[in-house]
A and B are shown apart, each in its own frame.
Chain A
Amino acid sequence: MPRNLRRWGPPLLMISPSLILLAVFVYGLLAVNAHTSTTDMNTAAQATGVKPTSFVGFDNYTKLLSSPDFQHSLKNLVIYTVVFLVGTMLFGFLWAWLLDRPVRFEGVFRSIYLFPMAVSFVASGVVWRWLLNSNQGESASGLNRLFQMIGLDFLQNNWWNNVNYGIAAIAIPAIWQLSGYVMALFLAGFRGIPEELREASQIDGATTWQMYRHVIFPQLSPVALSAVIIVGHMSLKAFDLIMSISKPANYQTKVPAVDMYVLKSSFHYADAAAVGVILLVIVAVLIIPYLVHISRAEKRA
């Protein structure tokens, strides 16, 4: 027993502050939030305890999930995530592939591609709101004006003001900002592949394409998976970029996180909490299999 204590005690003592903080401020508050979402606390009076709150089970969830407006938010979230993911993966991979070959000024290019990530979503959102102005013809500005100047008038469109897939336009700045990050991940992946493997494949007579196809790409899949998870969970929590380009009350660009904010601001605490739980579940569906996969892989190794 004392031996065990000596072995486990100090490390446990070291991590206990962060464990306690996590338990209270992350998991504790998650539990409180989940509890709120099962009550009818949808007025200020109930939140302060002047009027009683009662347990309503999953009513808030069924109400939300059956409302066409919330379904629209979920649909927007799916479109945003798909466009954002495909865009960043495509550009990130492409740039990394290009930089993987010996290129002059590689460092410069790398910085250029990576740099947009240093800008906050709110700051770039302000600029992109102007670039994505939906006016066309005479009063056009931003990208639509640029299209006119280079004679590509037919490319003009109303960007994020399209009610069906306008949210995809907001994924453009997100792609612009995070492709560089995905590139860095992939570049690290490329560099992590031993030179011997490339040489071996060349000795075996593989063409460059065959080498990439059969030797390099398969070894990049863990990196790709991490990139998908990182970008994917960022996308599911999208809020700041949407808020700074569009406005919270704009129907065409609303996503669950925006709904949560709007509901909370109008004292619908229980509904807002339910949206929070739904978001958590969506992110968990993505993250938990990944974590399980990682821990299994570690055990094998």
Chain B
Amino acid sequence: MRTRRTLTALTAGLAASTLLLAACSSGDDTASDNGTSGSTGGDASEVEVFTWWASGSEKLGLDALVKVFGEQHPDTKFVNGAVAGGAGSAAKDLLQSRLQAGDPPDTFQAHAGAELQDYIDAGQIEDVSDLYKEFGLTDVFPKDLIDRLTVDGKIYSVPSNIHRANVMWANPTVLKDAGLDPAATYSTMDDWFAALDKVKASGKTALSVATTWTQVNLLETVLIADLGADGYSGLWDGKTDWNGSDVTKALTDFQKLMSYTNTDRDGLDWPDATQQIIDGQAGFNVMGDWAEAAFEAAGKKAPADYTYQPVPGTDGVFDFLADSFTLPKGAKHPGGTKNWLQTISSAEGQTAFNKAKGSIPARNDAKASDFSEYQQSAMESFGKDTIVSSLAHGAAAPVATLTAISDATSKFTTGASDLAQYQKDLASAAAGS
């Protein structure tokens, strides 16, 4: 407690002195602040960036981003506030208490979309739409994407990268052994079931999956396949009825898909499920395109060692999620935050970051030739497909809804509820009770 207070006093003192210094200097910063809301000016001496990018390709991406940041804003010191653990859950817990204690980082990573709703309602983050105009982002981000980020006419975060959640990965050797053509594409769930049956008959795991959130990821792609992009998006704004018969059909398909999966799924996380494809223990896997980094890290090459295509029935739909950065209310170095948001939204920043992380830029003016083969195909789809928001990754529904849906899904896949009960649980989860 004591050290915290001393620290606060120290930082406050530091902030005050840097403010003085800034006032004495030429005032580049303040000049460029015209036209933006007052809160985005101010102290740019440093920026504490709170993320859960602490290891692997995420850490490499952050490092690349910091390098560009150092070139673009040499006067702002980057302070790494990365918190490791639990795929971001440790970071989110800490963030929750810091925001409540009125001690926010200068900017924090959050999935773009509905996951921000709680922070918006709580008045913990600022509207950054002015920065979109200032940085010219309204022209370079796809309109579909901006629509999905806008809440009541305001935008609260700046995306740094885009991931696609509806990708089906496969091991061609396993498919060949099962008598399937590895290059085949599947346009409907029924086509896919036929293929899954063959893999199952060959003695391998037909579909590898991991713990609850990966099952929710699978569920959302089935919902997209069976309801279509509009029907799926309607689930989140009340236009599609959760109790409808088309949802029942989707849940039946989901139930059937789960019957092809590995029995130890609940103890695994996504890298384990992807590893089963890499090792040839399983035929198919549905996972977001961060799995690409795992295949690459294992030295595998597409299409000889692994293949990818949209989840059957979802071709032409891009199930997106995005990491984004915010401007918390009461940030100590709002000028630094603004500089950071400028870098992560710039063409150089997005290119450097996404090349390392394996995702794709949100900007449509990035040079495709800078990226890998998978990334190029994803960028192409992102440009022309219908964009829908991912449920499992916080873009489609607020945290409480996602938690309730996850609980219902876990209950269903462990056999504690039947399909009718599952549908009822999902409906009440979406209704927010």
- A window 94-124: CB within 8 A of B: none
Query: In this assembly, does A39 line the interface, its C-beta being within 8 Å of a C-beta of chain B?
Result: no
Q: Determine whether A201 belongs to the interface, using a CB cutoff of 8 Å to chain B.
A: no
Cβ contacts under 8 Å, B124 to chain A:
44, 48
Say yes or no: A44 contacts B121, CB within 8 Å. yes
Q: What residues of A have a CB within 8 angstroms of the CB of B205 in the complex?
A: 139
Is B259's CB within 8 Å of the partner chain A?
no
* B414 touches A (CB below 8 Å): yes
A214 within 8 A of B: no
By a CB distance below 8 angstroms, the chain B residues around A268 are 400
Asked if B263 contacts A69 (CB within 8 A), the reply is no
CB of A45 within 8 A of CB of B266, answer no
Q: Which residues 122-142 of A sit at the B interface, judged by CB distance below 8 A?
A: 129, 132-136, 138-139
Mostly helix, strand, loop or mixed at chain B's interface? helix
Contact A134/B264 with A43-B121, A48-B124, A252-B414 known, Cβ cut-off 8 Å: yes
Q: Flag if A251 contacts B407 (CB, 8 Å).
A: yes
Select which of B119, B211, B262, B403 is within 8 A of A265 by beta carbon: B403
Interface: A35 (CB within 8 A): no
Given known contacts A44-B119, A69-B407, is B267 in contact with A249 (CB within 8 Å)? Answer: no
A249 / chain B contacts, CB cutoff of 8 Å: 211-213, 403, 406-407, 410
CB of B123 within 8 A of CB of A161, answer no
Knowing A135-B263, A265-B403, A267-B399, the reply to whether A252 touches B416 (Cβ < 8 A) is yes
The one of A44, A161, A250 that contacts B263, using a Cβ cutoff of 8 Å:
A161
Complex contact B121–A51 (CB within 8 A): yes
Known interface pairs A43-B118, A135-B262, A268-B400; A48-B213 also in contact (CB < 8 Å): no
Kindly state the separation between the CA atoms of A129 and B272 in the bound complex, as whole angstroms: 13
Chain B CB within 8 A of A266 CB: yes
Instruction: List the A residue with the shortest CB-CB distance to B117.
Output: A44
Q: Is B297 an interface residue (CB 8 A)?
A: no
Within B400-422, which residues are at the interface with A (CB < 8 Å)? Answer: 400, 402-404, 406-407, 410-411, 414-416
Residues in A neighbouring B118, C-beta threshold 8 A:
43-45, 267
Cα A161 to Cα B211 in complex, Å, equals 11
Do A133 and B407 touch (CB < 8 A)? Answer: no
Q: Which residues A235-254 have CB closer than 8 A to chain B? A: 245-252
Question: Are B263 and A158 neighbours in the complex by a CB distance under 8 Å?
Answer: yes
Contact B123 A45 (CB under 8 A): yes
Residue among A51, A134, A246 with the highest chain B CB neighbour number at 10 A:
A134
Q: Which of B213, B400, B406 contacts A267 (CB 8 A)?
A: B400
Which residues of chain A have a CB within 8 Å of any CB of chain B? 42-45, 47-48, 50-51, 69, 72, 129, 132-136, 138-139, 158, 160-161, 163, 245-252, 262, 265-268
Interchain residue pairs with CB less than 8 A apart (20): A43-B118, A44-B121, A47-B100, A48-B100, A48-B122, A134-B264, A134-B266, A139-B262, A161-B263, A161-B266, A163-B416, A247-B267, A249-B211, A249-B213, A249-B410, A251-B407, A251-B414, A265-B89, A265-B96, A267-B96
